[in-house]
Structure 1
Amino acid sequence: MPLPPRIAAFHANGADRYGVVTEDGIIDLTPEFGNRFKGLQEVIEAGALDQVMAAAQGRAPTYREQDVTYLIPIARPEKLICIGVNFPDRNAEYKDGQAQPTKPSMFIRFPRSFTGHNGNLVRPPESEQLDYEGEVAIVIGKTGRRIPREKAYEHIAALTLCNEGTIRDWVRHAKFNVTQGKNWDSTGSLGPWLVPFKSADQLDDVELTTRVNGEVRQNDRTSNMMFDFRFIINYVSTFCTLVPGDVIVCGTPTGAGARFDPPIWLKPGDVVEVEATGIGILRNGIVDECA
């Protein structure tokens, strides 16, 4: 299956750059647009994603993929919102006897808690319980407040993937929040790139899979989400204004390491892949944090 049109943020030759990714390499568009748009966040904010990507047509790659370091696509989003427990089987894991929720769980992550494609997730010395969560993420491209469900997709600029890595024991430090388990530096990843959003087919029934060392651990379809993408945009925009560059990470299927008996935590040398049809594969290794 051919890869979709996609644009990535990356570091090469001592500078942060962005460009269109092809099967043969990356076409650097920073020389042409860098004075106007520092990064992809500024491209999104200006509504210029199609214009910038069109400039790559007919050009040869500037860099081989192996010669660059991928960065998270949106460097400094105003909001990076995560939706928790958004698949029925995932909800059933909690075994609390409660009916399926009518409103989503939510929490905030900091950009520094993520690394880019092919980077390493970092296991801190304070805990061995580093876990994976493969998810689809949407990038907002149009400002909105109280966005109607039927207009929700008009506010999406692009799609990407997330490994919403978690330090499991730290999410249980308090009764009503998970913030401290979700924001360790470089415990999650975003990327590899942005895929421009053009039609509902890109979101409504997409297969989402997470593999650890080649073994499938998570697999489901976005059509099974308890709170679909339209609902999420409508709900979140009710209490806060969504602006271009905001990232919403939309929930993970069952099968995280914490749910095995005994739990299977990520360890140095492991490789995690998150794949979604039409978006690509986000791949990361695991290392221990250096003292």
Structure 2
Amino acid sequence: MNLVSFTAEGQHFWGVSVPGGVVALSADFPQWKTLRDVIDAGAIATVLAAGQGRAASHAEGHFAWTIPIPDPEKIICVGVNFPDRNAEYKDGQEAPPNMSLFVRFARSFTGHGQSLVRPPESHQLDYEGEIAIVIGKGGRRIPEAEALSHIAALTLCNEGTIRDWVRHAKFNVTQGKNWDRSGALGPWLVPFTDPSQIVDVTLVTRVNGEVRQKDRTGRMLFPVARQIAYISTFTTLVPGDIIVTGTPTGAGARFDPPIWLKPGDVVEVEAEGVGTLCNTIADEVI
């Protein structure tokens, strides 16, 4: 059973996944407006217990997935975090001494089963499959040895990128990473209970059924515990914050010629123990 956010008949709900659909629990706990509030209250176990044994309130096909946490304070993304990905930059460095970071806004993501939006300003929409962690216990200057205990849940991310716009400035990728609904998060939050869920698991991205990216988190240049420790050095992490942990080599920009996403494509991001995030591609309607 996993935590979910969704819409149905114009209303927003949160709850849990069950066979055949989802159970809306938000009316049962009006003190918690979103899953961010649930996490902040340390109430994941309470919510899971409330959903135990309940039948789906909304069957598959009768609701739309939304990003699991619609109102995070921060979404911080880690760039160039796998050895082969680092080698793509051909700068002579085997591994940088510190991780590359950038921020994304919640509006730049959509939910599982929704379309990533290709804007008219650029057709260089690219995929980046990643695992994202959700902070459960906040803190500043979190020791690396304690960092994993600060995770509440895991989810998946297609960190969709408008590739030419990340090259508009010398040291700035923000404008290529934040187009409305250019990426996706979901489909749900998997409660984090053991380091084995993140330390060395397989991450795969497929486009139209073809494997484009595949690696293991155990090969990350900056493991998740180090990410939490490093990021919390300069900013206070709070419950509901999301860290997108890095993508393997194989993005469309690295093909010759590049292969950009186009309407009708289907992108799947899958990780052991987390599930599969699936999205189609559509042109923006203006």
TM-score range (shorter-chain normalised) is over 0.9
Does 1:138 find its partner at 2:151? no
Kindly report which structure 2 residues correspond to 1:147-158, keeping only aligned pairs within 5 A, or say none.
Answer: 147-158=142-153
Paired residue secondary structure (2:211): strand
Match of 1:27 in 2: 23
- Preserved contact between residue 87 and residue 94 of structure 2 (Cα < 8 Å): no
Kindly report which structure 2 residues correspond to 1:58-69, keeping only aligned pairs within 5 A, or say none.
Answer: 58-69=53-64
Per-residue Cα deviation, 1:103-155 (whole angstroms, up to 9, x for no partner) = 10000001000000001000000101000000000000111100001110111
Does 1:266 find its partner at 2:261? yes
Alpha-carbon offset, residue 14 of structure 1: 2.3
Q: Specify the code of the residue in structure 1 equivalent to 2:124.
A: Q
Match of 1:248 in 2: 243
Structure 1 runs of 4+ aligned residues shifted over 6 Å read none
Unaligned runs of 5+ in 2: none
Alpha-carbon offset, residue 19 of structure 1: 1.4
Per-residue Cα deviation, 1:195-241 (whole angstroms, up to 9, x for no partner) = 00000010011100000000000000000000001000000000010
2: CA distance, partners of 1:23 / 1:129: 37
Match of 1:108 in 2: 103
1: CA distance, partners of 2:214 / 2:191: 24
Paired residue secondary structure (2:58): coil
2: CA distance, partners of 1:136 / 1:184: 20
Does 1:173 find its partner at 2:168? yes
Match of 1:6 in 2: 2
Paired residue secondary structure (1:237): helix
Paired residue secondary structure (1:89): helix
1: CA distance, partners of 2:115 / 2:65: 11
Per-residue Cα deviation, 1:132-181 (whole angstroms, up to 9, x for no partner) = 00000000011110000111011100000000000000000000010000
- Preserved contact between residue 133 and residue 154 of structure 2 (Cα < 8 Å): yes
Q: Specify the code of the residue in structure 2 equivalent to 1:18.
A: W
Alpha-carbon offset, residue 65 of structure 1: 2.1
Per-residue Cα deviation, 1:234-273 (whole angstroms, up to 9, x for no partner) = 0000001000010000000000000000000000000000
Match of 1:194 in 2: 189
Q: TM-score, normalised by structure 2?
A: 0.99
Paired residue secondary structure (2:71): coil
Match of 1:226 in 2: 221
Does 1:203 find its partner at 2:198? yes
Match of 2:87 in 1: 92
Match of 1:15 in 2: 11
Q: Specify the code of the residue in structure 1 equivalent to 2:258.
A: P
Paired residue secondary structure (2:236): coil
Identity of aligned residues (%): 65
- Preserved contact between residue 86 and residue 94 of structure 2 (Cα < 8 Å): no
1: CA distance, partners of 2:56 / 2:19: 9
Q: Specify the code of the residue in structure 2 equivalent to 1:189.
A: A
Unaligned runs of 5+ in 1: none
- Preserved contact between residue 110 and residue 185 of structure 2 (Cα < 8 Å): yes
Does 1:290 find its partner at 2:285? yes
2: CA distance, partners of 1:221 / 1:90: 13
